[in-house]
Amino acid sequence: MSDQLHEALEMLRESGVRITPQRHAVLEFLIQSEKHPTADDIYKALEGKFPNMSVATVYNNLRVFREIGLVRELTYGDSSSRFDCNTSDHYHVICDKCGKIVDFHYPSLEEVESIAEQITGFDVSHHRMEVYGTCDSCKPVTSH
Amino acid sequence: MSDQLHEALEMLRESGVRITPQRHAVLEFLIQSEKHPTADDIYKALEGKFPNMSVATVYNNLRVFREIGLVRELTYGDSSSRFDCNTSDHYHVICDKCGKIVDFHYPSLEEVESIAEQITGFDVSHHRMEVYGTCDSCKPVTSH
DNA sequence: TAAACTATTTATAAAGATTATAATGTAATA
DNA sequence: TATTACATTATAATCTTTATAAATAGTTTA
Taking the CA of residue B65 and the C1' sugar atom of nucleotide D18, their distance in angstroms comes to 17
- DSSP reduced 3-state for A134: strand
What's the pLDDT at A82? Answer: 92
Mean pLDDT of A92-121: 88
Tell me what pLDDT residue B138 has. Answer: 86
Domain boundaries, chain B: 3-84, 91-137
Would you state the pLDDT for residue A83? 94
List, in order, residues 6 or more apart from B32 with CB less than 8 Å away: B2
Contact A109 B129 (CB under 8 A): yes
Confidence of residue B144 (pLDDT cuts 50, 70, 90): low
Q: How do A123-134 and A91-95 pair as beta strands?
A: parallel
Residue A20 has pLDDT above 80, yes or no: yes
Span B3-46, pLDDT tens digits: 889 999 999 998 889 999 999 999 999 999 978 999 999 999 99
Task: Cite the DSSP H helix spans in chain A.
Answer: 3-14, 21-32, 39-45, 55-68, 110-120
CATH 1.10.10.10: does it fit domain A3-84? yes
pLDDT averaged over every residue in chain A: 90
- B64-84, pLDDT tens digit by residue? 999 998 999 988 877 899 999
Q: Does residue B18 approach strand C to less than 7 Å at its CB?
A: yes
Residues A131, B123: C-beta atoms closer than 8 Å? no
Tell me the CATH class for B91-137.
alpha beta
Q: How many CA atoms within 13 Å lie on the side-chain side of A103?
A: 13
- For domain A91-138, is the CATH number 3.30.1490.190? yes
Average pLDDT over residues B93-97: 86
Contact between B127 and B109 under an 8 Å Cβ cutoff? The reply is yes
Q: Is the CB of B45 under 7 A from strand C?
A: no
Q: What percent of chain B has pLDDT over 70?
A: 97
B125 contact residues in A (CB cutoff 8 A): 96, 132-134
